[in-house]
Amino acid sequence: MIPLGDVSRRPIHFPIVTLLIVVANACVFLLELAGGDAFIQQWSLVPADFVAGRHPITALTAMFLHGNWVHILGNMVFLWAFGPEIEDAMNPGRYLAFYLAGGVAAMLAQVAVSPGSTVPTLGASGAIAAVMGAFLITYPRDRIRTVLFIGFFVTVTFVPAFLLIGLWFLTQLVSVGAVTNMSTGGVAYMAHVGGVVFGAITARFFEDPRRLAEEGL
C-alpha cells in the first residue's frame, strides 16, 4: 500500500515545515551522492558506537540520510501523505520539534534492541512513523487515498487511516529485529515501531492548544 494523501480534509495553512523537511532530505541525499560511503559512515548511526559514547549527534543526523533513490522517494511520499495535516494540527514550530524528537526516539528504540550492532541505521522512516502515529490519534477516521497492490492488480482506493496505519504498524511489529539491507547500510524495523509509539503517545502534547480548545479536547 502506498498512501497518497488525506481526502477527508485539507490543511488550513501551507505545510511549509513539511516541505522544508523534504528539501532538507533531498539536499542531504545529494551530499551523500557526492561524498560516498565516507559521508554516510560519518553521519549515520551505528548502535555500537552510540552506546560507547561516540558520535551522539548521529541520532539526529541519521534521520536525514537514505540508502538509495527508492528509499528516499518512498519516505518522502509517506511524509507528504500524512505530514501536512499533522503540521496544521500542531503549528509549524511544534511540528518541527515533534518530528525531530520522533526521529531521535525511533533511533534510540533501535539502539535499545541491538546495542552491539555495527550496521549503520539511517533514514527518515522513524520520524515519519512518529507522524503516522500522531495521525492515528488525531485523525483516525480520515480516508487516505491509497495505491493498493493485489498480486498483479493495481488500484487506487480510499482506506481509513486507522486501518492503513494499523496494518502498516503490525507488519513492522512482526518484523522487529529484521533489517532492510541497503547498499550502504540498513533501516531497522524497531525504529519504525518506536516512532509510531512515540507519535501516538505524545501527539496531544504537541498539538496547538488553540486547536484543542476549539474542539473541546
* Tens digits of residue pLDDT in 150-173: 878 899 999 999 999 999 998 888
Would the pLDDT of 217 be above 60? no
Q: Which residues partner with 182 through β-bridges?
A: 185
Residue indicated by cell numbers 541519521 = 62
Instruction: Provide the pLDDT for residue 173.
Output: 80
Number of domains composing the chain:
1
Any idea what the CATH number is for the domain that residue 47 is in? 1.20.1540.10
**Total-model pTM:** 0.90
How many whole angstroms from its chain centre is CA 191? 9
Give the distance between the most distant pair of CA atoms in the chain: 51
Residue 37 structural domain = 2-214
Residues 6+ apart with CB under 8 A from 92: 13, 16, 17
pLDDT tens per residue, range 58-102: 999 999 999 899 999 999 999 999 999 999 999 999 999 999 999
pLDDT band at 214 (very low <50, low <70, confident <90, very high): low
Contact call for residues 205 and 90 (beta carbons, < 8 A): no
- 29 torsion bin: left (phi>0), alpha (psi -120 to 50), beta (else): alpha
